[in-house]
């Protein structure tokens, strides 16, 4: 018996209720069909949307050098970099704890892909500034990109008091660094990065020194637990003269996530914390005990929401 025949045979008092029931029974399949269509459309849209890799590295720095990460848009990051003296300096210096080099820095995300930053190091009383742009982002889906590529340009200014008048000129105190940071997140726990780098120094200690220093860096991050990761960073200096006078910077460390902070503990043979200083001027031999124990601390502050 159909709904229409039931309504026709029903007593007058029950007709409105039966009519409402019939309408509901008729509307329910249509609503279910609409919901199913919406779900299918959403799944189709999700399948064509790119799935971007996130947190390739937990901070904007690996140890000494930059990572491919930039602060989110409208986010300010405050960084403290600290290096004690070398471990082989002996008990008189408490194995380096009596000595310290520090860098204070700020980084700001203009957008999710463009950031700028500045800092000041106690080593050579150096000021630095840099610009980073995330050119490519690793993602799956349509037109998948296997790596993240971030371009970085930095400049440093040495403000030490020099004895000769010629060295007081601003141009001679400047040095520059240019990097293409290429990283891939192979799994939720493993990330690898390559860092081809060019450093240019306007002023060098000796006339025979290289003004331009080429280096190729590599870094790896292996997650150990939810909040702990092992990091390693190494730069191979390609310029022969610079390589002959110095050592290749090597660093080993741990990243510890603590809420809004990223706390990095590390051992490195590089005392400086900016590329124009640590690439051409690292003198210590890591395997002879010329190791600086240090840490980086970063804290993020959201300053507003980006407009869509």
Is position 108 within any domain? yes
pLDDT of residue 242: 82
Q: 110-151, pLDDT tens digit by residue?
A: 999 999 999 999 998 999 999 999 999 999 888 889 999 999
What is the value of pTM for the model shown?
A: 0.79
Helices then strands, counting H and E runs in the chain, come out as 4, 14
Residues 207-234, mean pLDDT to the nearest whole number: 92
DSSP string across 219-279: EEEEE-SSSEEEEEEEEEE--HHHHHHS---EEEEEEEEETTEEEEEEEES----SHHHHH
Domains in the chain: how many in total?
2
Q: Is the dihedral of CA 51, 233, 129, 303 positive or negative?
A: positive
- What's the mean per-residue pLDDT of the chain? 84
298 vs 12: which has the higher pLDDT: 298
107 vs 31: which has the higher pLDDT: 107
Q: Is 38 in the same domain as 58?
A: no
Q: Is 40 in the same domain as 187?
A: no
Is position 44 within any domain? yes
Q: Is 116 in the same domain as 134?
A: yes
Q: Is 61 in the same domain as 102?
A: yes
Q: How far apart are the first and last CA of the chain?
A: 56
Is position 3 within any domain? no
Q: Is 131 in the same domain as 280?
A: yes
Q: Is 114 in the same domain as 199?
A: yes
Q: Torsions phi, psi of 279, nearest 5?
A: -75, -50
- 102: domain CATH number is 2.40.160.40
Local confidence band at 306 (pLDDT 50, 70, 90 cut-offs):
low
| Rounded Cα distance, 39 and 185, in Å | 31
Residues 156-173, mean pLDDT to the nearest whole number: 77
Is position 190 within any domain? yes
Is position 236 within any domain? yes
Residues 6+ apart with CB under 8 A from 54: none
Is position 308 within any domain? no
Q: Is 15 helix (H, G, I), strand (E, B) or coil?
A: helix
pLDDT of residue 7: 45
CA-based nearest residue to 213, from 281, 275, 271, 280: 280
Look at residues 30, 49, 68 and tell me which one is the last residue of a structural domain: 49
Q: Is 31 in the same domain as 132?
A: no
Q: Is 254 in the same domain as 269?
A: yes
Q: How many other C-beta atoms lie within 10 A of the C-beta of residue 52?
A: 12
Residue 95 pLDDT exceeds 80: no
Local confidence band at 28 (pLDDT 50, 70, 90 cut-offs):
low
Residue 104 pLDDT exceeds 80: yes
Supply the range of the domain harboring residue 85.
Answer: 53-302
> Residue 214 is encoded by which pair of tokens?
């080429």
Is position 11 within any domain? no
Extract long-range pairs of 45-52: CB within 8 Å, 24+ residues apart.
47/141, 48/141, 48/142, 49/141, 50/139, 50/140, 50/141, 50/142, 50/143, 50/144, 51/139, 51/140, 51/141, 52/137, 52/138, 52/139
Is position 12 within any domain? no
């Amino acid at each position: 018996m159909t709904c229409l025949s039931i309504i026709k045979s029903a007593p007058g008092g029950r007709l409105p209720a039966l009519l409402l029931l019939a309408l509901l029974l008729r509307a329910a399949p249509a609503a279910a069909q609409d919901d199913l269509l919406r779900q299918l459309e959403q799944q189709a849209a999700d399948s064509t949307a790119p799935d971007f890799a996130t947190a390739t590295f937990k901070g904007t720095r690996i140890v000494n050098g930059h990572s491919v990460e930039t602060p989110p848009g409208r986010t300010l990051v405050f960084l403290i970099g600290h290096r004690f003296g070398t471990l082989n300096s002996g008990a008189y210096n408490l194995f380096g704890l009596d000595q310290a080099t520090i860098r204070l820095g700020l980084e700001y995300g203009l957008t999710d892909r463009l950031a700028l930053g500045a800092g000041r190091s106690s080593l050579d009383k150096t000021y630095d500034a840099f610009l980073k742009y995330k050119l490519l982002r690793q993602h799956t889906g349509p037109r998948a990109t296997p790596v993240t590529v971030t371009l970085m340009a930095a400049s440093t200014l040495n403000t030490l008091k020099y004895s000769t008048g010629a060295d007081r000129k601003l141009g001679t105190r400047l040095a520059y660094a240019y990097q293409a940071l290429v990283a891939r997140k192979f799994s939720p726990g493993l990330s690898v990065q390559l860092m081809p780098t060019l450093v240019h120094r306007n002023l060098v200690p000796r006339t025979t020194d290289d003004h331009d220093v080429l280096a190729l860096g590599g870094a790896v991050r292996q997650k150990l637990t939810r909040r702990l990761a092992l990091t390693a960073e190494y730069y191979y200096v390609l310029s022969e003269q610079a390589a002959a006078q110095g050592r290749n910077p090597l660093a080993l460390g741990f990243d510890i996530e603590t809420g809004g902070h990223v706390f990095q503990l590390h051992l490195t043979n590089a005392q400086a914390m900016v590329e124009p200083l640590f690439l051409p001027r690292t003198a210590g031999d890591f395997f002879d005990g010329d190791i600086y124990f240090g840490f980086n601390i970063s804290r993020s502050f959201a300053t507003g929401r980006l407009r869509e």
